A and B are shown apart, each in its own frame.
Chain A
Amino acid sequence: MESTQANPGLLCSPEDSQRTLYPYVTGTSVVALKYKDGILMAADMGGSYGSTLRYKSVERMKPIGKHSLLGASGEISDFQELLKYLDELILYDNMWDDGNSLGPKEIHNYLTRVMYNRRNKFDPLWNSLVLGGVKKGQKYLGMVSMIGVNFEDNHVATGFGNHLARPILRDEWREDLSFEEGVKLLEKCMRVLLYRDRSAVNKLQIAKITEEGVTISQPYALRTFWGFSAFQNPTAGAEGSW
């Protein structure tokens, strides 16, 4: 194995077509919070192809096993690859058929190992993942980034959500929110993201996971308001400008 210091071409030569170099079809923010009975997670259904909002029915949240829910932003194909890994993991777990099952903490840690390992090989899975779940009454919510940084918190968000949604959550999240309060809070965050994130689309799903299981809502749109007076005559201050 030649050293990459002696031959830098090894890391970035065009023949190395198997490594992930840039993401192509991407999903934008995922936002999630803990509430009284479990976890609530929201993500829109957009798959952007660069700056084009190409795909508008991409499901970016999926249930994993009996106890967990995974949401992803970033490269959609890498998310699908992860779902394949997780599918196999859950399958082997079920095959033991012994009353033990992998909970959200275990899945979160497994994903951290996978992401960190790929990062070390310079071939990352280009995703920011949100993993939430409830097992034996214990609520769990964690995040893993594409370089393997992982942590747990009462509310998490990926991408733009970190900058736009989390400040709202830091102010307004409390312990033991009801389901309605949680949804309202998430919708508030998603609305801000819809206004301000150019890769957001107005078609979102909210997923809930409790001890009983996972429910992912049907896609719906948020009400928006664009009737501000400043938008009426955009060239008022400078005629001739666009």
Chain B
Amino acid sequence: MFRNQYDTDVTTWSPAGRLFQVEYAMEAVKQGSAAIGLRSKSHVVLACVNKANSELSSHQKKIFKVDDHIGVAIAGLTADGRVLSRYMRSECINYNYTYESPLPVGRLVVQLADKAQVCTQRSWKRPYGVGLLVGGLDESGAHLYYNCPSGNYFEYQAFAIGSRSQAAKTYLERRFESFTDSTREDLIKDALIATRETLQGEKLRSSICTVAVMGVGEPFHILDQDTVQKLIDAFEIVGQDEGPAAEPDAAVPAEQAAAGEGAGADTGSAPETDVAPMDI
């Protein structure tokens, strides 16, 4: 895309019928680190790659719990994502207060999309620069939606957004027909493999990814680092990588300590068996 005379204002159409500011906002999504979502009939799994700015800093939180039955993974301007997550949490809690019942995810995404659309039609606003993968449950089962800065939303069986998401999408396209009837464990495994695809050869470790699950009878929660590392080890041993069996065990405690404060919602210190993980 190149600069042109119709791209200064979101309220200016181009002669070809395009709103360039909205399209530029969607570019911002492509610059963010990858986020992946998949769903079966009863579960939704969200996964994302955590890239910290430097070795000194912690990574940004990209997966948010919106309610027991809804979670969101973001890519793009994380600040915009945080604000929208707060809006979603607010809507869920208000609905629950009035109706004592969870807000159907399909209705939440429409509200979110309408909110995004407003920003594409006001001269004093700008579009949100974040793409949201919203996973949630309602009466008709598990759903995964993608909300765009343009104010559009789409339902997906599986999707990936952010940088190098095409690699993940290629993997998901090969496998998506099996997802509806997939077990929870297989779904998580597929999410991790899709995440690995976006790393372009870099080793997949639980310190650089976050995985969250929700399902019928299972409230949304982020899996702790230990669990994720064990899952990675399980399929990496079976897969083509040679000899990682010894390495991850030794590497895991060191990574845990280093990624401790950076883990955000994950459990930081080495977990004791009688202490429940904090997933607030």
Contact = CB atoms under 8 A, between A and B. Distances in A.
Interface hub of B98, B99, B138, B139 (most chain A Cβ within 10 A): B99
B174 to A, nearest CB: 30
A100 B99 contact: no
A109 B98 contact: yes
Contacts of A103: 101
A110 interface: yes
Contact of B107 (A100, A108, A109): A100
Contact of A100 (B97, B100, B139): B139
B106 interface: yes
A109 B101 contact: yes
Interface hub of A100, A103, A108 (most chain B Cβ within 10 A): A100
A102 B99 contact: yes
Nearest to B100: A109
Nearest to A102: B99
A110 B99 contact: yes
A113 interface: yes
Interface residues of B, number: 12
B248 interface: no
Interface string B213-245: 000000000000000000000000000000000
A105 B138 CA distance: 16
Interface in B72-131: 97-101, 104, 106-107, 110
A98 interface: yes
Contacts of A105: 99-101
A109 B106 contact: no
A201 to B, nearest CB: 35
A106 B101 CA distance: 6
A113 B104 contact: no
B45 to A, nearest CB: 23
Interface string B40-54: 000000000000000
A96 interface: yes
Contacts of A102: 99
Nearest to B96: A109
A100 B98 contact: no
A99 B99 contact: no
B4 interface: no
Contacts of A110: 98-99
11 contacts: A99-B140, A100-B104, A100-B139, A100-B140, A101-B139, A105-B99, A106-B99, A106-B100, A108-B100, A109-B99, A109-B101
Given A106-B100, A108-B100, 13 more contacts: A96-B107, A96-B110, A98-B104, A98-B107, A99-B106, A100-B138, A100-B139, A100-B140, A105-B101, A106-B101, A109-B99, A109-B100, A109-B101
